[in-house]
Structure 1
Amino acid sequence: MIYDLLIVGGGINGCAIARDAAGRGLSVRLVEQGDLAQGTSSASTKLIHGGLRYLELYQFRLVHEALAERELLLAAAPHIIWPLKFVLPYEKGLRPVWMLRLGLFLYDHLARRKRLEGSHMANLKGDALGAPLRDAYSVGFTYADCWVDDARLVVLNAMDSAERGATISVGARLAHAERRGEHWRAALADGETIQTRALVNAAGPWVSQVIEDALHIASRKHVRLVKGSHLVLRKLYDGPQAYILQNPDGRIVFAIPYEQGFTLIGTTDVAYDGAPGPVAISEEETDYLLASLNHFLRRPATRGDIIWSYAGLRPLYDDGSLKASVVTRDYAFDLDAPEGAAPSLSIFGGKITTARRLAEHALDELARFLPAHGAAWTAGAVFPGGDMGESFSGFLAALKREKPFLGDELALRLARAYGMRVFDIVKDARTLGDLGRDFGCGLSEAEVAYLREKEWARAADDILWRRSKLGLHMSAAQQEALREFIGA
């Protein structure tokens, strides 16, 4: 078989391109060397947002595109994406009030906004929004963005593409590829060969490595790796609001309610010169995040509050900026298409928020090299599980009526993770026992089977840290029991 498109990389960009291409009727193969979303796409701050601070860098096109995508994504995946109110305390000596007002006005109006509330100036004294903050912060602003389960968004893109005919291969590393006239002949590490009319390099932090070591082509563009690290702490404050905290160095740090019992803090921007691969937070980054947080909070957080940390490499397009924090978050393409030869398209940069639009642009770039196919279609399409009707709350209530044995906590977790696809897990079950063994925190044998059969989960960590965040909640013994079960 000759595929129309071979995609290298199972992060958000690769899976979004696979989804769009498969829906247009193209034959698609995606290969990922590890697990879906194992790299950058599961190490984000979990936000669908326009990028308020990018306005300072005059990246108006990027902010406009991201704000427009925010509305589309909220409608397309209401189970894993939902509105989140942010509180921005005013810090004397940093950005003046007029600048904050102007920035938020632009943020409200750069793109059409239907589902999210606009920004407001807020008196934080005596208000629940100001309760976690030190007395020095009496004035601030509020605005809305969206929370997203980042790794699940990647998986939903992959699921949708597979249901439209794409072949998704995890644990499949591209070893090398060579042009043979109008086709690429790609060889995987396990010896399989693939023929394709076009090749997309969406390898994220490995994009330059794939160009040089696997494709053996020259590129005028380069990736710049920036490490971003996060802390997960015991819950620091009550309420559903998040905080955006200004630092004297010009950067901002988010404090976000996380997984019911925790607070997520991030992120850092540290230039990274090593080889792409797993990374971890440093002592300096930990100190930085705690200091940023404690500058604002009434009750200081300590290292003893830290439950977990994670870090990832952002594969940013190298625009020549000297500081890591101001490198563009926009994306860039490098199309290599010699006359009469099969094309390759390498992706540099991008954001979770704009991945759907990036996919449309990528297929526009490749259109002349591919067989006749359908038009762009993803703008109005829901993701798997997102077809739940008017509201998430209404869907959740209906699920609890139909499956009362789940209880409030488990019903909420399953509804948030799977939306309408929850019924592919619970099926005709009438008791928890009908779902098989409980590994802890309601993770049933039926759910594990679904994740392995439908969502490409191969190892316990795929389930504990990417398909879910149950690793934060389950004991070491429960996690080990899951590993033994999957290993067996």
Structure 2
Amino acid sequence: MQQQLHCDILIVGGGINGAGIARDAAGRGLSVVLCEKDDLASHTSSASTKLIHGGLRYLEYYEFSLVRKALIEREILMRSAPHIIHPLRFVMPHDQGQRPAWMIRAGLFLYDHLAKRELLPGSHGIDLRQHSAGVPLKESFSKGFVYSDGWVNDARLVVLNAIAAAENGATILTRTECVAVKRNATDWSATLHSAKDGEIQVQAKLLINAAGPWAANFLHDTVHGRAGKKLRLIKGSHIVVKKLFDHPYAYIFQHPDGRIVFAIPYEQDFTLIGTTDIDYHGDADKVVIDAEEIDYLCELTNRYFAQLITPADVVWSYSGVRPLVEDEKDDDNERASAVTRDYKLAFDTDAAPLLTIFGGKITTFRKLAEEAVDLIAPTLSNQHGAWTADACLPGGDIYGSKPNNRAVMEFDDYVRELQQEYVWLAPALIERYARAYGTRIKLLLADRTSIADMGEEVAPGLFAAEVEYLTKYEWASCNEDILWRRSKLGLHFAKSSDAGRALHLWLRDLEPQ
């Protein structure tokens, strides 16, 4: 029998913007259906540099409003999700060919003071010959600067927003594509196609296009409307190598052409290097790094580190396409890194209302969602005010339901408390659980008091209990969902490992016949 759904809002797109809007809207009492043609965060939102940051380099383009907005959000998000977001100190080695030191100091001073900062220490100069961050660098780098930003598990950030939306009544449909919509005078009739459930009909009072790189195509091909904004698709690629340093700092390197690359400690044993910024004109479903990008990232890394890397050292890579909004005044030849990361909301109320999200960056997703729901709420006769700035994301309520500084600054203490509580599990496993699930570890480990209660060890460090949790509560349904988005366990398994096959067989057996 064909499934029929009725809702206030149908959201197309399960990236960070779609999931964030679903969370905000459902929390205000609106009925929401979100459909995503693949897995949550399976494209752009899991292909970021994994930073919650103001965007220091955007100051160069006088994007003061965007930087200030992002810096405000940086503080809010760190408090609301202390398990998947944590502070990170960045080292910027000073190259004689770069801007003068006084200019960098001025930029960092502005970065420190554009918005209220309570959690993170400010910037200062360092002598790299005396600092631990100077050890891996070439001897020619003697001076540098240190400043603060945040790191985020980007794919889990999307999932946590979807969980929050579902807990407030939203229907989350993954691997479900919106294949047709009909715009009526007061509502929308949509046809969805689910890989699992077949055709689903949805009647919605309002449609939100949060399709990211596909937003313009969805408007043109499915809605049959005008795109309104010109999207410039920018490909960003990253490489991962065995760790190049043993300290907790990250690096920000500037290429002679002005572009920025980060080198970040990643998954205990690795270094994440990226990103590239190049125009992309291919299929947004088939984005992969190319040899030139790998060479570029290796070349820039080798400009700074004493230990040289080659393409053969790359153990993993990923690429994504960011949909950036081009103003009419923008030059088509303008460098990709210079195009704004700010977002635009296009609200069309000529018939049944349609909201399209153009652009955005992961740091400002919550504010984007808040502004989006503020914009559409009167159309749906909804009077509930904004709420997400004062609420924890699922698992972040370590010291109460309200975001607070203590959870961010004392998260290591929380991990130790859990390790003492669950002494029958390996401390490293408990730490991974804590940093992935936060307080939802209680749900994961409910009624389990011994290693035997965890079920089969499907792959090294991956027990049946966790797989069952991920399939039941987090919409995971295949190897890649679990090994590369809900976790990064795939990075730790040797290429020759049969762990992926073992998990595939286990998931196949889990499915109802």
Counterpart position of 1:434: 453
Q: Per-residue CA shift, 1:207-231, capped at 9, x if unaligned? A: 0111011111113212111100000
Worse overlay, 410-419 or 315-324: 315-324
User: Whole-Å Cα distance in 2 between the matches of residues 248 and 265 of structure 1?
Assistant: 17
Q: Which amino acid aligns with 2:448?
A: A
Shift of 1:372: 2.2
Partner of 1:250: 258
Q: In structure 2, how many angstroms separate the alpha carbons of the residues matched to 1:484 and 1:474? A: 17
Which residue identity is paired with 2:264? Answer: I
Aligned to 2:474: 455
The root-mean-square deviation of aligned C-alpha atoms, in Å, is 1.1
Equivalent position of 1:400 in the other structure: 419
Residues 231-310 of structure 1 correspond to what in structure 2 (within 5 A)? 231-310=239-318
Please give the alpha-carbon distance, in whole angstroms, between the structure 2 residues aligned to 1:423 and 1:37: 25
Q: Secondary structure at the match of 1:295?
A: helix
Residues 219, 334 of structure 1: 8 Å contact kept: no
Q: Distance in 2 between matches of 1:37 and 1:240?
A: 27
2:489 maps to: 470
Tell me the amino acid that sits aligned with residue 280 of structure 1: V
Greater Cα offset, 350-359 or 325-334: 325-334
How far did residue 12 of structure 1 move?
0.2
For 1:354, what is the secondary structure of its paired residue? Answer: helix
Q: Which residue of 2 aligns with 1:348?
A: 358
Q: Take 1:218 and 1:135, find their aligned partners in 2: how far apart are those partners? A: 56
Does 1:487 pair with 2:508?
A: yes
User: Distance between the aligned counterparts of 1:330 and 1:412, measured in 2?
Assistant: 35
Residue in 2 aligned with 1:333? 345
Match for residue 53 of structure 2 among 49, 54, 64: 49
Of 178, 195, 205, 1:197 maps to 205
- How far off is 1:178 after superposition? 1.2
Q: Distance in 1 between matches of 2:460 and 2:267?
A: 13
Moved more, 185-194 or 99-108: 185-194
Partner Cα distance (1:411, 1:3) in 2: 39
C-alpha distance in structure 2 between counterparts of 1:435 and 1:56, whole Å = 52
> Deviation at 1:122?
0.6
* 1:19–1:160 CA contact under 8 A, matched in 2: yes
TM-score under structure 2 length normalisation: 0.93
Alignment partner of 2:458: what SS? coil
Per-residue deviation at 1:2? 3.1
User: After alignment, is 315-324 or 113-122 more displaced?
Assistant: 315-324
Structure 2 counterparts to residues 16-165 of structure 1, below 5 A: 16-165=20-169
Moved more, 323-332 or 448-457: 323-332
Deviation of residue 126 (structure 1)? Answer: 2.6
The structural deviation recorded for 1:367 is 2.4
Matches within 5 A, 1:382-421: 382-389=392-399, 390=406, 391-421=410-440
**Contact 1:441-1:473 at 8 Å conserved across structures:** no
The Cα shift of 1:187 comes to 0.8
**Partner SS for 2:362:** coil
Question: How far did residue 479 of structure 1 move?
Answer: 1.2
> What displacement does 1:68 show?
0.3
Distance 2:382 2:72 in 1: 29
- CA shift digits 1:251-305 (9 cap, x unpaired): 1100000000000000000100123212111100000000000000011112232
Query: TM-score when scaled to structure 1?
Result: 0.98
Secondary structure, counterpart of 1:372 in structure 2: coil
How far off its partner does 1:325 sit? 1.3
Q: Report the 3-state secondary structure (helix = DSSP H, G, I; strand = E; otherwise coil) of the residue aligned with 2:35.
A: strand
Q: Which residue of 2 aligns with 1:371?
A: 381
Answer whether contact 2:325 2:342 (CA < 8 A) is retained.
yes
Amino acid aligned to 1:6 = L
Tell me which amino acid in the other structure corresponds to 1:403: Y
Aligned partner of 2:119: which letter? R
Question: What do residues 346-372 of structure 1 show as CA deviations (whole Å, max 9, x unaligned)?
Answer: 111101100000001111221231122
- Do 1:388 and 1:420's aligned partners in 2 also have CA atoms closer than 8 Å? yes
Out of 275-284 and 137-146, give the one that drifted further: 275-284
Shift of 1:394: 2.1
Give the counterpart of 2:172 among 168, 171, 180: 168
Counterpart Cα distance in 2 of 1:407 and 1:208 = 48
Q: Which amino acid aligns with 2:382?
A: A
Q: Secondary structure at the match of 2:425?
A: helix
Q: Per-residue CA shift, 1:45-81, capped at 9, x if unaligned?
A: 0100000000000000100000000000000000000
Q: Aligned partner of 2:176: which letter?
A: A
User: Is the contact between residue 298 and residue 309 of structure 2 (CA under 8 Å) also seen in structure 1?
Assistant: yes
Question: Secondary structure of 2:40's match?
Answer: coil
Give the gaps of 5 or more residues in structure 2.
400-405
Query: Which has the higher mean CA deviation after the structures are superposed, 445-454 or 215-224?
Result: 215-224
Structure 2 equivalent of residue 214 of structure 1: 222
The residue type paired with residue 269 of structure 1 is D
Q: Distance in 1 between the 2:6 and 2:445 partners?
A: 38
Residue 315 of structure 1 aligns to which amino acid in structure 2? P
Structure 1 unaligned regions, length at least 5: none
